[in-house]
Amino acid sequence: MTDGMRFAADELARLATDLLAALGVPADDAATAAAAVVQADLDGVDTHGMGRLPNYLLRLRRGIMNPAPQMAFVRRMGATAVLDADNGMGQVAAARAMREAVRLAGELGIGLVTVRGSGHFGATSYYTGIAIDAGMIGLALSNSPPAMAPHGGRAAFLGTNPIGVGVPVAGGDPIILDMATSAIARGQILKANRNGAPIPPGVAVDEAGATTTDAAAALRGALLPMAGAKGFGLALAVEVLCALLAGAAASPEIPSYFDNFERPSTIGHVMAAINIAAFVEPDAFAARAAGLIDGLHQVPPAIGSAGVRIPGERRSALRRQLLAGGVPLAPAAVAQLTQLAEELGVAPPSPIT
């Protein structure tokens, strides 16, 4: 938490929707993108929340992100489809792709939809959440600009290529994985750099390839993959699916999210939904999922640990807390959003009083 003001999630969604609509994003698309952005804040992934919105707005103003794209499914075969996002917002494209994957899975047991010509989609959990809401297992992947050195190399080449998995647990919190394939998320390094804080050892190298705990040096250098060769392998698999299979740009071809406002991102995503009912009785699945989670909670804690935490457990609790008590935003983010609201003629953010 920060010491900033707090805002109702609905008010943040209203603000984000208004700001996007003011730049020509159709109302439905603006609402979708706003929901994805606010959910990142609710999930504690504030690097992909309202603080990131000005970056998207700048892309729309510069004309490198298309506010009103002609998104189209350009190929279809059975349980698969290819969405060309026409350089629209990543949130809009990814949500549309996951909804289509859910529809295909409803008919054919599984749906796999690739996306090309897209932009940064934020946290994966909004998209796997669409599958969870449909009672399905969801998978969300994306490639991203070069940020991470391959295992054995010293320079950034692949992105931090995230993997998201969502599993519905009837009567309980869903299982939600939302992880970069790097040892640390790039957003964490950006945050450390802003705060003048060090980064943990072993997660990044400087420009010369030496490991560093200096955030600024790491940003000029490269992140390292999680678990060495294994994380590199997973990042490469994500790259193959999101770039080569989707027909999108590969990581090395993607312009920086933060330093390049001249070219569209042209990145790729993969969204998959799995229809549980095609495989087992959903009630049996739900009961066994609850039993598996109970069993994990009963494992004796590691030395120095408070015990096993199921992936998604913390974010579900935080979501409830922030929905009830409001989302804290840092003063700098509030000031930037207030100024953008003024420039674009929309109502400024109104905090909880």
- Binders of a second copy among residues 285 to 304 (CB under 8 A) are 285, 288-289, 291-292, 295-296, 299-303
Q: Which is nearer to a second copy, 279 or 347 (CB)?
A: 279
- The answer to whether 115 contacts a second copy (rule: CB under 8 A) is no
Choose the stretch contacting a second copy; rule: CB under 8 A; options: 29-37, 56-64, 105-113, 259-267. Answer: 105-113
In angstroms, give the least distance from the CB of 179 to a second copy. Answer: 5
Q: Count of alpha carbons within 13 Å of 351, Cβ hemisphere only?
A: 13
- The answer to whether 157 contacts a second copy (rule: CB under 8 A) is yes
The residue whose two tokens read 């990814």 is 94
Choose the stretch contacting a second copy; rule: CB under 8 A; options: 18-26, 56-64, 274-282, 316-324. Answer: 274-282
- The answer to whether 112 contacts a second copy (rule: CB under 8 A) is yes
Q: What is the DSSP letter of 146?
A: S
Within 8 A by CB and 6+ apart from 49, the residues are: 37, 38, 40, 41, 122, 327
Distances (CA, A) of 294 to 54, 136, 300, 309: 42, 21, 12, 11
**What is the three-class DSSP state of 178?**
strand
Q: Which is nearer to a second copy, 105 or 192 (CB)?
A: 105
The residue whose two tokens read 């929309």 is 346
CA angle 132–137–142, rounded 5-degree value:
95
Q: Which of 175, 204, 242, 322 binds a second copy (CB under 8 A)?
A: 175
In angstroms, give the least distance from the CB of 315 to a second copy. Answer: 12
Are 74 and 114 within 8 A, CB to CB?
Answer: no
- The answer to whether 79 contacts a second copy (rule: CB under 8 A) is yes
In angstroms, give the least distance from the CB of 303 to a second copy. Answer: 5
Q: Which is nearer to a second copy, 63 or 291 (CB)?
A: 291
Q: Which of 276, 329, 333, 334 binds a second copy (CB under 8 A)?
A: 276
**What is the three-class DSSP state of 26?**
coil
- The answer to whether 151 contacts a second copy (rule: CB under 8 A) is yes
Q: Which of 20, 140, 223, 246 binds a second copy (CB under 8 A)?
A: 246
Report the first-to-last Cα separation within the chain, whole angstroms: 17
Q: What is the DSSP letter of 52?
A: G
Q: Which of 13, 167, 217, 329 binds a second copy (CB under 8 A)?
A: 167
Q: For a second copy, what does the binding mask look like between residues 222 and 241, x meaning CB under 8 A?
A: ----xx-xxxxxx-xx-xxx
Are 339 and 53 within 8 A, CB to CB?
Answer: no
Q: Which is nearer to a second copy, 227 or 335 (CB)?
A: 227
Transcribe 321-340 into DSSP letters: HHHHH-EE--HHHHHHHHHH
Q: Which of 147, 243, 267, 329 binds a second copy (CB under 8 A)?
A: 243
Sheet containing 175-179: which strands, arranged edge to edge?
72-77, 80-84, 110-118, 267-274, 137-142, 163-167, 175-179
Choose the stretch contacting a second copy; rule: CB under 8 A; options: 9-17, 29-37, 272-280, 316-324. Answer: 272-280
